[in-house]
Amino acid sequence: MSGRNVVHKTYRHTQRYLEILRVLSRYGFYDLIAQSGFDLLGPLGKKISLKRPEDSVLKLSRWERVRLALEELGPTYIKFGQILSTRGDLVPVGLVEELQKLQDKVPPFPGKEAVGWIEKELGRPLGELFEDFSAEPIAAASMAQVHKATTIDGDHVAVKVQRPGIRRMIDTDLEIMHHSWRCRWRNMYPTWGMQTW
pLDDT tens string, the chain, 197 residues long: the values are: 444 444 455 556 888 888 888 899 999 988 877 766 555 555 544 556 677 888 899 899 999 999 999 988 888 898 899 999 999 999 999 999 999 998 766 778 999 999 999 999 999 999 999 999 999 999 988 889 999 999 999 999 999 999 888 888 889 998 888 877 776 655 555 554 444 44
Q: Read off the pTM.
A: 0.67
Rounded Cα–Cα distance for residues 136 and 119 (Å): 17
What pairs with residue 144 in β-bridges? 162
Residue 82 CB neighbours (<10 A): 15
Write down the H helix ranges in 74-165. 75-84, 93-99, 111-122, 126-129
Rounded Cα–Cα distance for residues 111 and 165 (Å): 15
**Separation of first and last alpha carbons in the chain:** 5
Rounded Cα–Cα distance for residues 84 and 5 (Å): 29
Determine contact, residues 49/20, Cβ cutoff 8 Å.
no
